[in-house]
Amino acid sequence: MPPPAPRVPGILAGRRPTWLEIDLDALAANFRVLTEAAGGRPLWCVVKADAYGHGALDCSLTLESAGAAGLVVALPEEGIALRRGGIGLPILLSGPLPAGGAVPLLDHDIMPALSRVEDLRRLEDAAALSGHSASFHLEIDSGMTRMGLPPGHLEAFMEVAAGCSHCHLQAVFSHLASVHEPGDEAAQRQLERFSNAVRRVRELAQRDIPCHLASSPALCGFPQAACDMARPGLLLYGVSPAPTLQPPASLAPVLSLRATLVLLQEVTAGVPVGYEGTWASPTDTRLGVISAGYADGLWRDCAGRAEAILNGERVPYVGAVNMDLAQVDLGTRLSAHPGDVVTIIGRHGDAAISLEELAGRTGRTAYEWLTTLGGRVPRLTYKAGRLDHVWTPTGSLRMEC
């Protein structure tokens, strides 16, 4: 007998039964695991892109309670939203300094990442005019060739920094371009460039400025990058950054995606199914239509590549996934009824569909899967083992439980 199937939560009565479950207890446990993996070093936790689809405010509040040293966002508005939500942790803006000026960052106590003298001067001028004291992290281009100060420009940058009376250099960091293979030589070269740059910054500043380099992939396979602090993102949410890496075994997925069967169809052999008729069953079968599509984060080409879980068994997607619906082949023996819950991402009993599996089967990354989960899908957030509240990124549903 299969284990009891998940049920549609009663709070979704009258609404489309497609939802994400966010386990904040798992997030807090993952934070503790990664703190140990980082040798007890402080963790600056990446919560950009709505915490990779998990809900930036809820995740940030959980991480703050768990002991995070700081949070990392990519957009000014992401940091401002966290401040308005009551977050008191240091917040680092890893993206570019806004063209419109630094005043909104100063007003909300958000530290920018700087890599150009002109941005440092803009920050200093804004801080002087507003009467704020500003902190920033200096980003070094160690080989990513994206953002970051070229090491050859360090002296000029630090000379300007030394003349700033309102700006304070808090830390130095860089991004690893490739660390998905243990012992990656390119990563080792980046580490050497970064270490040399940090040493030079400390010499010029005449103080011991902390540094950070280790992202989630580095925490899995590049312990040399540990530095003074670590900067995990994807691993916090219980997902491995790449199949070549081995994350700590005790990490647990934070997110599950579920939908329901809305219709069963008897189909005879050879009948084309779905848009463009891209699939036809070789035998008589039954199809189940489920209440999720590519507008909800289920990629259109999952058919023929990926599977879902129904009543403890795997069932393959068939035909092209639609914007709002998808179809699975149930065969003729599996017991199924309209209203049964289908697990798209997550676990049902001993069966599980992980993001890592879906990424591998569809030729995409777990990052892409998470950050394209539909904004209209309700998020059911669980805390201390109980449903805490329900919300959607579009703001169309927010109910306290």
Task: Please list the active-site residues.
Answer: 48, 275
Q: Are 308 and 325 in contact (CB under 8 A)?
A: no
Between CA 368 and CA 372 the distance in angstroms is 6
Q: Phi and psi at residue 10, in whole multiples of 5°?
A: -60, -30
* Dist. CA 281–CA 267, nearest whole Å: 8
Across 240-263, b (16+ Cβ under 10 Å) vs e yields: bbbeebebeeebebbbbbbbbbbe
Other C-beta atoms lying within 10 Å of the C-beta of residue 310: 25
Comparing CA positions, the residue from 300, 346, 342 lying closest to residue 321 is 300
How distant, in Å, are the alpha carbons of 13, 22, 400 from that of 382?
A: 18, 6, 12
Q: Which helix (H) or strand (E) holds 369?
A: helix 366-371
Q: Cα(158)–Cα(249) distance, rounded to whole angstroms?
A: 42
- Distance in angstroms (rounded) separating the CA atoms of residues 322 and 151: 49
Strand residues in 12-85 grouped as ranges (E):
19-23, 44-46, 70-73
* CA dihedral over 82, 84, 88, 91, signed as positive or negative: positive
User: Three-state SS for 28?
Assistant: helix
79: which 2 tokens?
């940091």
Contact by Cβ (8 Å): 150, 141: yes
Distance, CA of 283 to chain centre: 41
Q: Measured between alpha carbons, how far apart are the two ends of the chain, in Å?
A: 33
Please name every residue paired with 29 in a beta bridge, in sequence order, or none if there are none.
Answer: none
Phi, psi dihedral angles at 320 (to 5 degrees): -70, 135
The β-bridge partners of 22 are 255, 381
